[in-house]
Amino acid sequence: VTEGADVRVEERTGVVIAHIAGEVDLSNADRLGQKIARAVPNSALGVVIDLSETSYLDSSGISIVFQLVERLNGRQQLVRVAVPEDAPLRRVLSVVSMESVVPITATAEAAEEEIRQAA
Protein backbone atom coordinates (compact mmCIF):
# COMPACT_ATOMS: atom_id res chain seq x y z
CA VAL A 1 0.00 0.00 0.00
CA THR A 2 2.15 2.85 -1.26
CA GLU A 3 0.82 6.36 -1.18
CA GLY A 4 3.49 7.41 -3.61
CA ALA A 5 3.63 10.42 -5.81
CA ASP A 6 2.27 11.58 -9.11
CA VAL A 7 3.45 14.04 -11.69
CA ARG A 8 1.18 16.24 -13.78
CA VAL A 9 2.81 17.92 -16.75
CA GLU A 10 1.38 20.95 -18.54
CA GLU A 11 2.76 23.20 -21.23
CA ARG A 12 2.08 26.91 -21.36
CA THR A 13 3.32 28.38 -24.59
CA GLY A 14 6.76 26.87 -24.60
CA VAL A 15 7.31 26.38 -20.89
CA VAL A 16 6.77 22.90 -19.49
CA ILE A 17 5.58 22.77 -15.88
CA ALA A 18 5.90 19.50 -14.02
CA HIS A 19 3.90 19.45 -10.80
CA ILE A 20 5.07 16.67 -8.49
CA ALA A 21 2.54 15.80 -5.80
CA GLY A 22 2.98 13.37 -2.93
CA GLU A 23 5.95 11.52 -1.51
CA VAL A 24 9.05 10.91 -3.62
CA ASP A 25 11.55 8.31 -2.49
CA LEU A 26 13.60 5.39 -3.74
CA SER A 27 10.44 3.51 -4.73
CA ASN A 28 9.24 6.00 -7.35
CA ALA A 29 11.91 8.64 -8.07
CA ASP A 30 13.25 7.10 -11.27
CA ARG A 31 9.80 6.61 -12.72
CA LEU A 32 8.86 10.24 -12.03
CA GLY A 33 12.14 11.51 -13.48
CA GLN A 34 11.62 9.56 -16.69
CA LYS A 35 8.05 10.74 -16.99
CA ILE A 36 9.16 14.38 -16.76
CA ALA A 37 12.11 13.91 -19.13
CA ARG A 38 9.85 12.31 -21.76
CA ALA A 39 7.33 15.14 -21.48
CA VAL A 40 9.79 17.87 -22.44
CA PRO A 41 10.00 18.48 -26.20
CA ASN A 42 13.24 19.80 -27.71
CA SER A 43 11.38 22.94 -28.66
CA ALA A 44 10.50 23.90 -25.07
CA LEU A 45 12.09 27.10 -23.73
CA GLY A 46 12.47 25.58 -20.33
CA VAL A 47 11.03 23.51 -17.52
CA VAL A 48 9.61 24.36 -14.12
CA ILE A 49 9.86 21.53 -11.60
CA ASP A 50 7.09 22.45 -9.20
CA LEU A 51 7.61 20.95 -5.74
CA SER A 52 4.84 22.99 -4.07
CA GLU A 53 2.70 19.90 -3.57
CA THR A 54 5.56 17.54 -2.82
CA SER A 55 5.00 16.39 0.72
CA TYR A 56 8.22 14.40 0.93
CA LEU A 57 11.45 14.39 -1.08
CA ASP A 58 14.82 12.90 -0.18
CA SER A 59 18.14 12.23 -1.93
CA SER A 60 16.56 9.91 -4.50
CA GLY A 61 14.21 12.68 -5.64
CA ILE A 62 16.95 15.30 -5.36
CA SER A 63 19.04 13.13 -7.62
CA ILE A 64 16.42 13.15 -10.38
CA VAL A 65 16.18 16.93 -10.17
CA PHE A 66 19.97 17.21 -10.58
CA GLN A 67 19.84 14.81 -13.53
CA LEU A 68 17.04 16.74 -15.21
CA VAL A 69 18.89 20.02 -14.72
CA GLU A 70 22.07 18.61 -16.25
CA ARG A 71 20.27 17.10 -19.19
CA LEU A 72 18.09 20.12 -19.97
CA ASN A 73 20.91 22.63 -19.54
CA GLY A 74 22.87 20.51 -22.00
CA ARG A 75 20.07 21.14 -24.49
CA GLN A 76 20.16 24.89 -23.77
CA GLN A 77 16.83 24.68 -21.95
CA LEU A 78 16.32 26.63 -18.74
CA VAL A 79 15.22 24.97 -15.52
CA ARG A 80 13.68 26.41 -12.37
CA VAL A 81 12.58 24.64 -9.20
CA ALA A 82 9.58 26.00 -7.31
CA VAL A 83 9.36 25.48 -3.52
CA PRO A 84 7.31 27.64 -1.12
CA GLU A 85 9.45 29.81 1.18
CA ASP A 86 8.20 28.11 4.35
CA ALA A 87 8.33 24.49 3.12
CA PRO A 88 10.45 22.12 5.25
CA LEU A 89 11.96 20.99 1.95
CA ARG A 90 13.87 24.29 1.68
CA ARG A 91 16.38 23.24 4.35
CA VAL A 92 16.91 19.87 2.64
CA LEU A 93 17.62 21.54 -0.71
CA SER A 94 19.98 23.98 0.96
CA VAL A 95 21.99 21.15 2.54
CA VAL A 96 22.61 19.60 -0.89
CA SER A 97 23.35 23.05 -2.44
CA MET A 98 20.69 22.71 -5.09
CA GLU A 99 20.72 26.46 -5.64
CA SER A 100 24.26 26.16 -7.01
CA VAL A 101 22.93 24.37 -10.11
CA VAL A 102 19.37 25.66 -10.47
CA PRO A 103 17.55 28.79 -9.28
CA ILE A 104 14.79 28.12 -6.73
CA THR A 105 11.66 30.27 -6.74
CA ALA A 106 8.71 30.43 -4.36
CA THR A 107 6.00 29.66 -6.90
CA ALA A 108 5.63 27.92 -10.25
CA GLU A 109 4.24 31.14 -11.74
CA ALA A 110 7.32 33.13 -10.73
CA ALA A 111 9.54 30.40 -12.16
CA GLU A 112 7.63 30.41 -15.44
CA GLU A 113 7.96 34.19 -15.65
CA GLU A 114 11.72 33.99 -15.05
CA ILE A 115 12.15 31.49 -17.86
CA ARG A 116 10.19 33.66 -20.28
CA GLN A 117 12.27 36.70 -19.49
CA ALA A 118 15.56 34.87 -19.70
CA ALA A 119 14.74 33.06 -22.95
Tell the burial category of 91 from Cβ atoms under 10 Å away from its Cβ (0-12, 13-18, 19+): exposed
Shortest distance, position 89 Cβ to another protein, whole Å: 7
**Range 16-45, binding another protein (CB under 8 A):** 23, 25-27
Q: Which listed residue (2, 13, 100, 117) binds another protein by CB under 8 A?
A: 2
Shortest distance, position 9 Cβ to another protein, whole Å: 23
| For helices 59-74 and 29-39, angle between their N-to-C axes, nearest 10 degrees | 20
The answer to whether 85 contacts another protein (rule: CB under 8 A) is no
* Residues contributing to the site for another protein (CB under 8 A): 1-4, 23, 25-27, 56, 58-60, 62-63, 66, 88-89, 91-92, 95-96
